[in-house]
Structure 1
Amino acid sequence: MKRTLFIITAFIVLCALTNSTSLRELYSKPVNEWPRPTIDSGVVWEEMAPLPKENAWVEGLKDPQAQLGRLLFFDPRLSRSNQISCSSCHEPDLAWGDGRRVSLGNDHLQGSRNTASLINVFIYDNLFWDGRAGTLNKQVLGPLGAHHEMDMDAALLPAKLQAIAQYDSLFNEVYPGQPITVDNIATAIATFEKTIRSRRSKFDLFMEGRVNALSDQELEGLHLFRTKARCMNCHYGPYFTDKQFHNIGLTYYQRKYEDLGRYNITHNIADIGRFRTPSLRDVAYTGPYMHNGLFPELLGVINIYNSGMQLSPKPGQENDALFPKTDILMQPLQLTANEKSALVAFLHAISAKPLHVARPVLPQ
């Protein structure tokens, strides 16, 4: 009996080692020779790629406009109460998010959505979970005036900053001959935000030829991400996002936490329940997850996708034109517990620890 158990155990271990070896051989090849990912018909996608070798943060230190934006970003005087800055919800040490389920702003009022990280915000064409801002400048102005965020009347802000002598001088250096305006406030902050980018991770090293940069479990997660888990239907390219909007079944229709997403902006029935696909870069540090922040752990997110989230109307909802339809890209995956763990490991492998950022001395 013991001999039989030993043989079975040895066989399982040998199979695991063989699978690991074969995956490493497959993925040690150039990326164009990797196994083709599982992509549904009609999905326009691009291959995984390492982050560019750049340091936008360091370059931003040389740009007076970005540095003015940095001061404004960290300055609570941009809020009506003089207590809340952009960094109150986008804390560098928290991967440029706030670590809360939903945002907390003026008078301790809570928002209804999770604060999205600003890491790699420069890549998006539409900002916020519902895409309501078409430019980064417009995104900057949204929280500034929201009563539950910074609660500042934007029309009053230029005069408020003009009265601070050092700001008056700094704006004149960056925008010579111009008065302080809402537009150049937003432009300066947006210029700074464009410098907030992911640091290169062990995955980037792996893609550049360091074949042992990923562990066996992380490598299995990479393969699952590309194949059985179907992740690359929406998360691809160097930033792991299609930058599109999808309904993944988290609308909570006619229940607590209901949020119809992009539909509230476009009023197009096809947009009911759709939210922007976030980049998965640094995802290990940007929780809690999803637009409502209801998922504190990556494993919980994977469980959502594993289920497929294809929802059926309840009695009385059969003819409801607003009943949300989960995206057909969502399908049951039948992942095992070990496969889920491997996916989590891979998501950690594409995440780099947040850069520690010292807060600037503010103008007086």
Structure 2
Amino acid sequence: MIAPPDNPQTSAKILLGKKLYFDTRLSADNSVSCATCHDPALGWSDAGPTSKGIKSQLGGRRAPPVSNAAYAPLQFWDGRAPSLEEQAKGPIVNPIEMGNTHQVMINTLSGIKGYEDEFKTVFGSSPITLDQVAQAIAAYERTVVTTDSPFDRYVRGDQTALTCVEKKGLEIFNGKGHCTACHWGGYFSDGRFHNLGVAPAPGANPDEGRYAVTKNPADMGAFKTPTVRDAAKRAPFMHNGTEKDLMAVIRLYDRGGGPDGSNLDPLMVPLGLSQKEMTALEAFMKRATVSLNPGVADEKPVPASEFPE
């Protein structure tokens, strides 16, 4: 994992970032942490269909997974943040998420002697700054890399790591299923933005997606390709949680996209998969891409007794 030159990884910084990640005191009313919407037990996302923030407010999108996000060139569904550091700053001041201000959050942390001491140890200076908070959280998030899945073992030469059905699913994933048009490489994502024809959730307004950032009409309704790694832990699916399970997602792709075809990505074409082929593809994604690395797959929240006071 390559860290930015101005934010090198250190064990002390990673530990500080982990504490901040799980600490609800970053929010305005001490009710929401990063882990509230990016829960290790839920594939580093949440139960959805969209994310719930301060005062039980619902956002319009699901929380993208933190796992492997360090490999993404841009952050958020619409790519509005160029780095994990910049991403970490956003939810703090989002009125629907943590509902705080950066200054109030810094004042809160500065009033906790344990944090004041840790920040000084890690960064060698005081007072605490917003950039330091973001750098610590990003340093921790760069350690959240899901590896050692049955797929990883298979490509390393363990022919027993996948079942016969999963091997067939991998073949479809790489071929007739057209999945690798966007979900390729070790990250299982091209990091780009595509319109899949996903309709708004009932009662919701259309989401402009990447267009809200670029103002390029070609980006209207386009969203970043999520990783397939650990996807089975993150139902429901799509940016707005409108597809309830993996089979529903497969059927959407098999149809050549969702019902909103107004700006459909040209990569979206009908696939003509049989039920047997769809079942095999589902089997591959359901187990073969789920991490067996206990350091990430079984990450536990910071105990209350270990938060700085």
Conservation of the 8 A alpha-carbon contact between 2:9 and 2:139? no
Aligned-partner SS, 2:107 = helix
Aligned match of 2:5:
none
Pairs within 5 Å for 1:74-223: 74-223=22-171
Residue deviations 1:150-206 (CA, integer Å, cap 9, x gap): 011102222221111111111110111231001101110111111111031111111
Pairs within 5 Å for 1:310-349: 324-347=262-285, 348-349=287-288
Change (3 A) 1:161 1:310: closer
Conservation of the 8 A alpha-carbon contact between 2:37 and 2:46? yes
Residue deviations 1:38-97 (CA, integer Å, cap 9, x gap): xxxxxxxxxxxxxxx9xxxxxx99610111111111111111101211111111111111
Q: How big is the shift at 1:250? A: 1.1
For normalisation by structure 1, the TM-score amounts to 0.77
Change (3 A) 1:311 1:284: closer
Conservation of the 8 A alpha-carbon contact between 2:252 and 2:258? no
Aligned match of 1:284:
232
* In structure 2, distance between residues paired with 1:158 and 1:345: 46
Conservation of the 8 A alpha-carbon contact between 1:311 and 1:325? no
Aligned match of 2:302:
359
- Aligned match for 1:238, one of 177, 186, 189: 186
Pairs within 5 Å for 1:235-274: 235-252=183-200, 256-274=204-222
Q: How big is the shift at 1:231? A: 0.7
Q: Which has the larger radius of gyration?
A: 1
Q: How big is the shift at 1:252? A: 4.1
Conservation of the 8 A alpha-carbon contact between 2:201 and 2:242? no
- When the two chains are superposed, the root-mean-square deviation of aligned CA atoms in Å is 2.1
AA in 2 matched with 1:355: D
Q: How big is the shift at 1:255? A: 7.5
Change (3 A) 1:253 1:199: closer
For normalisation by structure 2, the TM-score amounts to 0.91
Change (3 A) 1:84 1:256: closer
Moved more, 276-285 or 352-361: 352-361
Change (3 A) 1:257 1:306: farther
* % identical aligned pairs: 37
Conservation of the 8 A alpha-carbon contact between 1:251 and 1:260? no
Aligned-partner SS, 1:140 = helix
Q: How big is the shift at 1:344? A: 0.6
Change (3 A) 1:259 1:251: farther
Q: How big is the shift at 1:327? A: 0.8
Q: Which sections of structure 1, spanning at least 5 residues, go unmatched?
A: 1-52, 54-59, 314-323
Conservation of the 8 A alpha-carbon contact between 1:145 and 1:151? yes
Conservation of the 8 A alpha-carbon contact between 1:287 and 1:293? yes
* In structure 2, distance between residues paired with 1:157 and 1:269: 37
Q: How big is the shift at 1:288? A: 1.2
Q: How big is the shift at 1:310? A: 7.5
Q: How big is the shift at 1:253? A: 11
* In structure 2, distance between residues paired with 1:109 and 1:253: 16
Conservation of the 8 A alpha-carbon contact between 2:119 and 2:125? no
- Aligned match for 2:176, one of 216, 221, 228: 228
